[in-house]
């Protein structure tokens, strides 16, 4: 079942943050100002002793045991890692970044030819806004369904820049291969057969979201992107080459910044893998913050099972010590649930959680 909005919803006026920045660079409208508890702490530099793990895919592909162990630790303890030697040609990575940047730099009128209707997730605008009093993110988004063809809305694939469609097709093909490869080694790291996810997923759903965060005069008051975990199985995130730091992940009580590494891609475990692994590998809450002078671009691919698939914790990962923590459900229903709720940290996954007496 494909996600569709059911009721017409009133979201009020949503300022386009790039236009706001152009017209009134010092202004932050009330709707973007977060409650005290949700505001980010602005740290002057990145001298953090905590860095998300780095995985070398070329070593994984030789089934290097140490690298498989590193992958296991990364998935268990972080839910995030950066992948080096990912095998995607640098030109492909550069081309998608260029077309994404060129798209966001088009006049508003041109971008608005591809509007994201309220309550939907494809097109240009702000997703996950469902009420007039909901706080807004300091971000412009452009999101498209890519695979399978039935989730595509060709009217939303832009004609400008002229090479956008071609660059996205090529990039998506490569990222799809990468996701399959990573899922193979994730399975191996769990002691499972390498093709278990590929076999289970059917024709996987793949979508792309491009996020553009212009500079903000008050990065201490706003969020670029609200805290959330991803509904996918796996997410591949490319940070723009000249982008400022912005992605942060929640480790314990601390928001840890993810330092951009040249030519690396950031990978994170989504809600679907958390469920399938019975919580052994977790989808970790993350958010984006903004910068006073610098902008930021991210290109994010969500890779998930077919909507037809029924899923729940895999039998191999459930035993007396690890009782079943999630119910079985249909992935199409979860997708619908995900896209019809605001981003709300890890709360979206309550959809599938079995509340035990001891869990909080």
Ligand X SMILES: COC(=O)C(/C=C/C1=C(C)CCCC1(C)C)=C/O[C@H]1C=C(C)C(=O)O1
Ligand Y SMILES: O=C(O)CCC(=O)C(=O)O
Q: Which positions touch Fe ion (CB under 5 A)?
A: 230
Cβ of residue 244: shortest distance to Fe ion, in angstroms?
Answer: 17
According to the binding rule CB under 6 A, does residue 309 interact with ligand X? Answer: no
According to the binding rule CB under 6 A, does residue 285 interact with ligand Y? Answer: no
Asked whether 300 and 235 are in contact (CB, 8 A), the reply is yes
Cβ of residue 140: shortest distance to ligand X, in angstroms?
Answer: 12
Among the residue ranges 35-43, 173-181, 216-224, 332-340, the one whose residues contact ligand X (CB under 6 A): 332-340
Q: How many residues bind ligand Y (CB under 6 A)?
A: 11
The count of other CB atoms within 10 Å of the CB of residue 204 is: 22
Asked whether 299 and 262 are in contact (CB, 8 A), the reply is no
Among the residue ranges 11-19, 98-106, 260-268, 335-343, the one whose residues contact ligand X (CB under 6 A): 335-343
Task: Mark 144-183 with x for binding to ligand X (rule: CB under 6 A) and - for no binding.
Answer: -x-----x--------------------------------
Across the strands, what pairs with 331?
A: none
**Alpha carbon distances (Å) from 96 to 8, 126, 260:** 34, 21, 17
Q: How many residues bind ligand X (CB under 6 A)?
A: 19
Interface with ligand X in residues 108-127 (CB under 6 A):
121-122, 127
Cβ of residue 271: shortest distance to ligand X, in angstroms?
Answer: 7
Report residue 104 CA to chain centroid gap. 19
According to the binding rule CB under 6 A, does residue 339 interact with ligand X? Answer: yes
| The two three-digit tokens of residue 154, written as one number | 């060709």
Task: Mark 249-288 with x for binding to ligand X (rule: CB under 6 A) and - for no binding.
Answer: ----------------------------------------
The count of other CB atoms within 10 Å of the CB of residue 49 is: 5
3-state secondary structure of 86: coil
| The two three-digit tokens of residue 268, written as one number | 């994170």
Q: Closest CB to ligand X among 60 and 129?
A: 129
Q: Is the dihedral of CA 96, 102, 106, 108 positive or negative?
A: positive
Among the residue ranges 88-96, 101-109, 163-171, 333-341, the one whose residues contact ligand X (CB under 6 A): 333-341
Q: Closest CB to Fe ion among 230 and 295?
A: 230
Instruction: Tell me how far apart the alpha carbons of residues 182 and 93 are, in angstroms, rounded to a whole number.
Output: 18
By CB under 6 A, name the one of 72, 286, 325, 331 that touches ligand Y: 286
Q: Closest CB to ligand X among 167 and 205?
A: 205
Instruction: Tell me how far apart the alpha carbons of residues 79 and 229 are, in angstroms, rounded to a whole number.
Output: 10
| The two three-digit tokens of residue 153, written as one number | 């809305």
* 339, interface contact from Fe ion, ligand Y, ligand X, none, CB < 5-8 Å by kind: ligand X
Instruction: Tell me how far apart the alpha carbons of residues 17 and 125 are, in angstroms, rounded to a whole number.
Output: 10
The count of other CB atoms within 10 Å of the CB of residue 19 is: 13
Q: Closest CB to ligand X among 3 and 219?
A: 3
| Beta strands 54-56 and 80-84, pairing class | parallel
By CB under 6 A, name the one of 95, 137, 230, 271 that touches ligand Y: 230
Across the strands, what pairs with 56?
A: 84
The helix (H) or strand (E) run that includes residue 199 is helix 196-201
By CB under 6 A, name the one of 244, 272, 298, 301 that touches ligand Y: 298
The helix (H) or strand (E) run that includes residue 273 is helix 271-276
What residues have CB less than 8 Å from 44, skipping those under 6 apart? none
Task: Mark 207-236 with x for binding to ligand X (rule: CB under 6 A) and - for no binding.
Answer: x-x--------------------xxx----
Interface with ligand Y in residues 195-224 (CB under 6 A):
209, 211
According to the binding rule CB under 6 A, does residue 179 interact with ligand Y? Answer: no
* 100, interface contact from ligand Y, ligand X, Fe ion, none, CB < 5-8 Å by kind: none
- What residues line the site for ligand Y (CB under 6 A)? 209, 211, 225, 230, 237, 246-247, 286, 288, 298, 300
């Amino acid at each position: 079942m494909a996600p569709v909005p059911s009721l017409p919803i009133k979201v009020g006026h949503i300022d386009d943050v790039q236009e706001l920045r152009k017209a009134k660079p010092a202004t932050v409208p009330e709707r973007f100002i977060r409650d005290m508890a949700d505001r980010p702490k602005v740290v002057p530099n990145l001298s953090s002793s905590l860095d998300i793990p780095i995985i070398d895919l070329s070593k994984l592909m030789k089934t290097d045991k140490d690298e498989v162990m590193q992958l296991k630790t990364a998935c268990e303890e972080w839910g995030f890692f950066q992948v080096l030697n990912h095998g995607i040609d640098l030109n492909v990575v550069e081309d998608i970044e260029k077309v994404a940047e060129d798209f966001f730099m088009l006049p508003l009128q041109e971008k608005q030819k591809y509007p994201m209707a309220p309550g939907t997730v494809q097109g240009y605008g702000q997703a996950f806004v469902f009420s007039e009093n909901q706080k807004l993110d300091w971000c412009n988004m452009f999101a498209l369904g890519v695979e399978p063809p039935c989730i595509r809305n060709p009217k939303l694939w832009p004609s400008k820049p002229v090479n956008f469609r071609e660059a996205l097709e090529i990039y998506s093909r490569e990222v799809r291969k990468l996701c399959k490869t990573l899922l193979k080694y994730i399975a191996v790291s769990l002691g499972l057969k390498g093709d278990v996810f590929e076999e289970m997923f059917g024709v996987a759903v793949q979508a792309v979201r491009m996020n553009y965060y212009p500079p903000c005069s008050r990065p201490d008051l706003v969020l670029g992107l609200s805290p959330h975990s991803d509904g996918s199985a796996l997410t591949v995130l490319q940070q723009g080459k000249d982008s400022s730091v912005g992605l942060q992940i929640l480790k314990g009580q601390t928001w840890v910044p993810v330092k951009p590494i040249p030519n690396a891609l950031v990978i994170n475990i989504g809600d679907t893998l958390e469920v399938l692994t019975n919580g052994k590998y977790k989808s970790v809450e993350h958010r984006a913050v903004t910068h006073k002078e610098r902008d930021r671009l991210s290109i994010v691919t969500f890779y998930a099972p077919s909507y037809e698939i029924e899923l729940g914790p895999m039998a191999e990962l459930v035993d007396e010590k690890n009782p079943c923590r999630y119910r079985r459900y249909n992935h199409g229903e979860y997708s619908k649930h995900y896209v019809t709720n605001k981003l709300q940290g890890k709360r979206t996954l309550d959809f599938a959680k079995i509340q035990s007496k001891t869990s909080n």
